[in-house]
């Protein structure tokens, strides 16, 4: 497909996706640090919940500013994130606090604004330094107990690219697992091309760096909600009519995750009903009059009587033998 045709298709998809995932829920903050913290929460969470959690962190009644978040305890940050239904909120609280500590130690101010003045190489160096400081700051009791002296990563590997795109220092669409998978399934690039060419082809479909960032957000949303790595929910996907991956699966008779779930629920219902009806038969409205209960009671009574009579017999016999012995 020619680039112009692909770009036209992408514009249509973006409109559909923006309708499904309202842009005002996606990270779109004025300051780079705000944008990045919002992005960190958004990446692994429902966009609405992430937005609420981000706003709560910024709320003056919780923390005055990012410096207050930096010096807060993990529990204090977690108590703000958790009520907004944030996944693994304690872990995320640690990441946010660690990242803020890194920013503070490298910049001496709670801001990333200085990066806007830098050239790409210098900006990358600063981000690497922030990551190193953040990791060091995050080594805590937990790691010491386990004898760990290093943390694998604080910010995701594609985060520097994300920040640079936001700053206009890198024009590529940030490349994370969701972007790569969804774009491949929708054939936004030649799937036989190598990574460098894939990135170039995807970038050629959008006009500005802001659009590249917006596309990345939308593909993440699509990836989180429908286009899962395993068992995508194609039947519910807003782009299924244009998706070759879905059409191919349908042709091969492969079951869709959303359809499988629906059919499982449908199958479960009658058996649940059947269970209930069996229960209903076994348990009439007045449990006291249950034949089985009565039978049980009678047999218990009988067995009780038998035990008693056996015991009495044994006592009588032992008394007689005691008499004889005497
Ligand atoms: S139709 Fe399926 S494979 Fe295609 S983009 Fe949607 S979820 Fe992904």
Assess whether pLDDT exceeds 50 at residue 110: yes
Our measurement of the distance from residue 64's CA atom to the centroid of its chain's CA atoms, rounded to an integer in Å, reads 28
Cα(224)–Cα(87) distance, integer angstroms? 13
Helices assigned H by DSSP within 113-256: 120-138, 141-145, 159-167, 177-185, 195-203, 209-225, 244-251
Task: Encode pLDDT of 240-292 as tens digits.
Answer: 999 989 888 766 666 676 665 555 544 544 444 444 444 434 333 333 333 34
126 lines ligand 1 (CB under 6 A): no
Question: Quick one: angle between helices 89-107 and 32-43, nearest 10?
Answer: 160
Q: Which of 179, 180, 222, 232 to mutate to test the pocket of ligand 1 (most atoms within 8 A of CB)?
A: 232
Closest by CA to 118, choosing from 167, 171, 172, 159, is 167
246 lines ligand 1 (CB under 6 A): yes
Assess whether pLDDT exceeds 90 at residue 27: yes
Assess whether pLDDT exceeds 60 at residue 108: yes
Domains defined along the chain, listed by start: 3-249 (1.10.1670.10)
* Cα 183 to averaged position of ligand 1 atoms, centre (Å): 10
Cα(140)–Cα(186) distance, integer angstroms? 43
Assess whether pLDDT exceeds 80 at residue 293: no
Atom of ligand 1 nearest to the CA of 226: 7
186 lines ligand 1 (CB under 6 A): yes
Q: Which of 10, 221, 223, 226 to mutate to test the pocket of ligand 1 (most atoms within 8 A of CB)?
A: 226
Which of 118 and 176 is assigned the larger pLDDT?
176
* pTM for this predicted structure: 0.75
- Per-residue tokens: 307: 């035990």
* Cα 13 to averaged position of ligand 1 atoms, centre (Å): 12
């Amino acid at each position: 497909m020619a680039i112009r045709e692909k770009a036209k298709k992408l514009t249509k998809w973006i409109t559909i996706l923006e309708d499904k995932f309202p842009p005002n829920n996606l990270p779109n903050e004025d300051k780079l640090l705000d944008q990045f913290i919002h992005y960190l929460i958004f990446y692994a969470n429902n966009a609405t919940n992430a937005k609420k959690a981000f706003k709560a962190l910024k709320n003056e009644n919780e923390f005055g500013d990012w410096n207050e978040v930096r010096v807060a305890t993990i529990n204090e940050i977690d108590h703000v994130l958790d009520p907004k239904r944030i996944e693994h909120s304690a872990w995320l609280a640690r990441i946010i606090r660690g990242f803020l500590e890194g920013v503070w130690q490298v910049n001496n101010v709670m801001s990333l604004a200085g990066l806007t003045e830098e050239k790409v190489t210098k900006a990358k160096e600063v981000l690497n330094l922030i990551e190193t400081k953040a990791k060091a700051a995050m080594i805590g009791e937990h790691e010491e107990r386990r004898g760990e002296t290093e943390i694998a990563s604080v910010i995701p590997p594609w985060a520097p690219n994300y920040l640079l795109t936001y700053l206009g220092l890198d024009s590529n669409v940030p490349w994370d697992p969701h972007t790569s998978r969804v774009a491949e399934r929708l054939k936004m690039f030649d799937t036989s091309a190598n990574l460098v060419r894939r990135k170039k082809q995807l970038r050629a479909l959008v006009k500005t760096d802001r659009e590249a960032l917006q596309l990345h957000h939308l593909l993440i949303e699509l990836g989180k909600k429908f286009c899962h790595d395993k068992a995508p929910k194609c039947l519910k996907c807003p782009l299924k009519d244009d998706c070759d991956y879905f059409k191919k699966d349908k042709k091969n008779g492969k079951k869709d995750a959303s359809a499988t779930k629906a059919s499982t629920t449908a199958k479960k219902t009658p058996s649940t009903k059947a269970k209930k009806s069996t229960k209903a038969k076994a348990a009439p409205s007045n449990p006291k009059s249950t034949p089985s209960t009565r039978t049980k009671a009678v047999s218990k009574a009988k067995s009780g009587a038998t035990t008693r009579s056996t015991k009495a017999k044994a006592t009588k016999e032992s008394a007689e033998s005691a008499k004889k012995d005497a």
